[in-house]
Amino acid sequence: MTREHTVLFVDDEVNILKALQRLLRNENMNVVCASRGSEALEIMEKIPAQVVVTDQRMPEMTGVDLLSQVRERHPDVVRMMLTGYTEMNIAVEAINRGEIYRLITKPWNDDELRATIRQAFEQSDLKDEIKRLNQITREQNFKLQDMNRNLEAKVRERTKQLAAKHQELQTAYVQTVGALAEAVDAKDSYTRGHSERVGVYASKIAREMCFPKEFIERVYIAGLLHDVGKIGVPDRVILKPDKLNKEEYDLIKQHPEIGAKILEPVSFLSDVVPCVRHHHEWFDGCDRGYPARLVGDQIPLPSRIILVADTVEAMTSDRPYRKALDLDAVNSELTKYAGSQFDPTCVEAFLRLLGREGESFIKKDQKFDIYEFIEG
């Protein structure tokens, strides 16, 4: 602590002031004197004293009054009273009211008085130090709060950016794989747009079944990608207009497995993989289903929905060996195979939709935005 120590003595007796100055001559402090209360207050406006020692009985203003004003104007100043035994009651009262830090009696003991003044400075320095530390703590708290706010904002911003990037990547990937599926469909003029339409029909059925939007989205993506494995099936099989022989049929039956293998390395499509793998299982688990001959609930629900959508799409599109079938034919085919090939609840949901929408359900050029559809 390097600040200068100043003590102010107030007494109307010049001799006492002189004696006090002499007493503290060799101490490392400034000694300032005033002979009246008003003078003391004036001095304090100009000179920052840390300690004030006053007599009680003075003209104009008593010591107690002076200290009470000092307390008001300079609350940090240490206030002491130097008084004779006759004014002891007044002084004690002032101490009790908190006006005075300490009382020194006249006549004083030199060593005691010096020690008391020193203690008063220590007390003042201590208060000052506490104030300083509090101030630093407050400032640091502000800084910390500020940093926290900045940090939170940064984290929020980065999280948003990452989420956007993630969404971008996801969309890009789905588009890429969707383009692959489209490329497969496009090999054959008869199946152009098949995958996209299966995605659309399947998500409509899923919504009809009141599933949450995450599920509907998954059904759509799985529908879009369900035949992506056909890319690994030779063109001569894919493009063959006639009935397939046993060897060719075995090759085409590999497309769900190949599709699953293509999608497997992509972590965010992990829940789409089984839907693609099992989209040709039969609900009753018979050997016409593939690749795993799963039964009922064992088959992922999106796969069961996709199978219905896939059948509807295939039946209502032209094929080299037949024209597109009408909705009555679709209706009776699905009804006939509900419970054996198809999950009856998926068929019911589709038939409800068909009852409401009729021909417009299978309109080939319907504009479809999955996110708009889910929200809507």
Residues recognised as catalytic: 230
- Tell me whether residue 103 or residue 314 sits nearer to Fe ion (CB atom): 314
* β-bridge pairing 6-10 and 30-34: parallel
Q: Smallest gap, in angstroms, from Cβ of residue 194 to Fe ion?
A: 6
- Tell me whether residue 11 or residue 227 sits nearer to Fe ion (CB atom): 227
CA gap 357, 371 in Å, rounded: 21
Q: By CB under 5 A, tell whether 185 contacts Fe ion.
A: no
- Going edge to edge, which strands form the sheet with 78-83? 30-34, 6-10, 51-54, 78-83, 102-105
Per the rule left: phi > 0, alpha: psi between -120 and 50, beta: everything else, 339 is: left
Size of the site for Fe ion (CB under 5 A): 2
Q: Smallest gap, in angstroms, from Cβ of residue 156 to Fe ion?
A: 43
Q: Do 311 and 334 touch, CB atoms closer than 8 A? A: yes
- Tell me whether residue 310 or residue 343 sits nearer to Fe ion (CB atom): 310
344, with CB counted inside 10 A (0-12, 13-18, 19+), is middle
The one segment of 38-46, 118-126, 215-223, 308-316 that binds Fe ion by CB under 5 A: 308-316
CA distances from 346 to 151, 246, 324 (A): 50, 30, 22
Q: Smallest gap, in angstroms, from Cβ of residue 191 to Fe ion?
A: 8
The one segment of 45-53, 64-72, 210-218, 224-232 that binds Fe ion by CB under 5 A: 224-232
Q: Prior bond to 107 cis, omega within 30?
A: yes
Q: Smallest gap, in angstroms, from Cβ of residue 259 to Fe ion?
A: 8
Among the listed residues 11, 182, 227, 343, the single contact to Fe ion using CB under 5 A: 227
Among the listed residues 99, 281, 310, 343, the single contact to Fe ion using CB under 5 A: 310
CA gap 63, 72 in Å, rounded: 14
Residues that bind Fe ion in the complex, under the rule CB under 5 A: 227, 310
